Structure 1
Amino acid sequence: MVATTLLDKSQGARHSAAARIDRLPIGSFQKQIMWLVAYVFFFELGDLNNFGFAAPELRIQWKLSIATIGLITSSAFMGMFVGAIAGGWFSDKVGRKKALILTTICYSISSLLNAFAWNVPGLLVTRFLTGVGLSAMTVVAITYISEMFPAKKRGTYQGWVMTIGLFGIPFSALVAGELIPRIHYGWRLVFVFGALGLFMPLFSRRLEESPRWYENQGRFAEADKALDRIEARSIADSGPLPPLGDEPATTGKHSKFSDLFTPTYLKRTLMLIGVYVFQTLGLFGFMAWVPTLLAARGFPVVKSLLWVSIMYFGAPVGALIAAIISDKWERKYLIAITSVVIAGFGVVYGLSNAMVPIVILGFCVAMFIQTFAPLLYAYTPECYPTEIRSSGSGVAYGAGRLANSLGPMLIAFLFTHYGYKSVFVYIAATWLLVAVIITAFGPKTKDRVLA
Structure 2
Amino acid sequence: MQQANSLNRLNRLPISRFHKITLLAVSFAYFFEFADINSFATTAPKLIKLWGVTVNQVAYVTSLSFVGMFFGAIVASGLADRWGRKRTLLWTTLWFGVFSFAAVFSWDVVSLGVFRVLTSAGLSAMTVVAVIYVNELYPATSRGKYQAYAIVIGICGTPVTNLIASAVVPINDWSWRLVYLWGALGVLLVFFTRHLKESPRWHESRGDHAKADEILREIEERVAAEKGPLPEPEPPVEEAPVTKAPLRLLMQKKYLWPTLLLTVVWVTQTIGFFGYSSWAPTLLAQEGFSVEKSVFYVALTTVGAPLGSYLAALVTDRFERKWCLVAFGSVIALCGLLYGLTFNPVLIVVFGFLVNLFERGYTALGYAYSPELFDTRARSLGTGVSYGLGRLSNAAGPLIVAALYNGSGYQSVFLFIAGTWLVGAVVLALFGPRTRPGRSRAETAEPKNTGTPIRG
- Which range, TM-score by smaller chain? over 0.9
Amino acid at match of 2:406: T
Shift of 1:94: 1.1
Q: Distance in 2 between matches of 1:249 and 1:29?
A: 28
Amino acid at match of 1:444: R
Provide the secondary structure at the position in 2 that maps to 1:264. Answer: helix
Give the conservation status (yes or no) of the 8 Å contact 2:5–2:235.
no
Give the conservation status (yes or no) of the 8 Å contact 1:339–1:435.
yes
The one of 404, 407, 421 aligned to 1:417:
407
1:318 and 2:297 aligned: no
1:126 and 2:115 aligned: yes
Q: Distance in 2 between matches of 1:175 and 1:355?
A: 20
1:439 and 2:429 aligned: yes
Give the conservation status (yes or no) of the 8 Å contact 2:370–2:383.
yes
Amino acid at match of 1:397: Y
Provide the secondary structure at the position in 2 that maps to 1:130. Answer: helix
1:377 and 2:367 aligned: yes
1:246 and 2:246 aligned: no
Amino acid at match of 2:353: F
Q: Which residue of 2 aligns with 1:7?
A: none
Q: Distance in 2 between matches of 1:68 and 1:157?
A: 39
Shift of 1:13: 7.6
1:448 and 2:421 aligned: no
Per-residue displacement from partner, 1:282-314 (whole Å, max 9, x unpaired)?
010011111111111110111111111110000
Q: Distance in 2 between matches of 1:192 and 1:448?
A: 40
Say what the alpha-carbon RMSD is for the aligned residues.
Answer: 1.2
Q: Which residue of 2 aligns with 1:20?
A: 9
The one of 281, 299, 307 aligned to 1:291:
281
Q: Distance in 2 between matches of 1:100 and 1:173?
A: 25
The one of 333, 347, 363 aligned to 1:357:
347
Shift of 1:207: 0.6
Shift of 1:120: 2.0
Q: Distance in 1 between matches of 2:374 and 2:207?
A: 18
Per-residue displacement from partner, 1:54-96 (whole Å, max 9, x unpaired)?
0000100011110010011111111001001111111011110
Amino acid at match of 1:174: L
**Unaligned runs of at least 5 residues, structure 2:** 444-456
Q: Distance in 2 between matches of 1:301 and 1:246?
A: 61
Matches within 5 A, 1:66-85: 66-85=55-74
Q: Distance in 2 between matches of 1:13 and 1:86?
A: 31
Give the conservation status (yes or no) of the 8 Å contact 2:59–2:398.
yes
Give the conservation status (yes or no) of the 8 Å contact 1:92–1:387.
no
Give the conservation status (yes or no) of the 8 Å contact 2:312–2:362.
yes
Q: Distance in 1 between matches of 2:235 and 2:65?
A: 49
Q: Which residue of 2 aligns with 1:164?
A: 153
Q: Distance in 2 between matches of 1:364 and 1:373?
A: 14
The one of 128, 152, 168 aligned to 2:141:
152
Shift of 1:143: 0.5
Q: Distance in 1 between matches of 2:166 and 2:234?
A: 56
Q: Distance in 1 between matches of 2:423 and 2:158?
A: 26
TM-score (norm. length: structure 2): 0.94
Q: Distance in 2 between matches of 1:58 and 1:259?
A: 45
Q: Distance in 2 between matches of 1:265 and 1:410?
A: 31
* Percentage of matched positions with identical amino acids: 42
**Unaligned runs of at least 5 residues, structure 1:** 1-11
Q: Distance in 1 between matches of 2:171 and 2:113?
A: 25
Q: Which residue of 2 aligns with 1:177?
A: 166
Shift of 1:251: 3.6
Shift of 1:15: 5.2
Matches within 5 A, 1:190-339: 190-254=179-243, 256-257=245-246, 258-339=248-329
Q: Distance in 2 between matches of 1:31 and 1:251?
A: 32
The one of 102, 116, 127 aligned to 1:113:
102
The one of 390, 406, 414 aligned to 2:396:
406
Give the conservation status (yes or no) of the 8 Å contact 2:147–2:367.
yes
Amino acid at match of 1:218: G
Return closer, same or farther for 1:102/1:141 CA change in 2, 3 Å cut-off.
Answer: same
Amino acid at match of 1:262: Q
TM-score (norm. length: structure 1): 0.96
Provide the secondary structure at the position in 2 that maps to 1:368. Answer: helix
Q: Which residue of 2 aligns with 1:5?
A: none
Give the conservation status (yes or no) of the 8 Å contact 2:245–2:381.
no
Shift of 1:14: 4.4
Provide the secondary structure at the position in 1 that maps to 2:38. Answer: helix
Amino acid at match of 2:147: Q
The one of 339, 342, 347 aligned to 2:332:
342
Per-residue displacement from partner, 1:22-74 (whole Å, max 9, x unpaired)?
11111111111111111111111110011100000010001111001001111
Q: Distance in 1 between matches of 2:303 and 2:429?
A: 29
Tell me how many residue pairs correspond in the alignment: 440
The one of 15, 25, 32 aligned to 2:21:
32
Shift of 1:236: 1.4
Shift of 1:164: 0.3
Give the conservation status (yes or no) of the 8 Å contact 1:268–1:441.
no
Q: Distance in 2 between matches of 1:13 and 1:71?
A: 53
Give the conservation status (yes or no) of the 8 Å contact 2:4–2:204.
no
Q: Which residue of 2 aligns with 1:186?
A: 175
Shift of 1:279: 1.2
Per-residue displacement from partner, 1:314-343 (whole Å, max 9, x unpaired)?
000000000111010111111111100100
Shift of 1:220: 0.5
Provide the secondary structure at the position in 2 that maps to 1:204. Answer: helix
Q: Distance in 2 between matches of 1:33 and 1:376?
A: 20
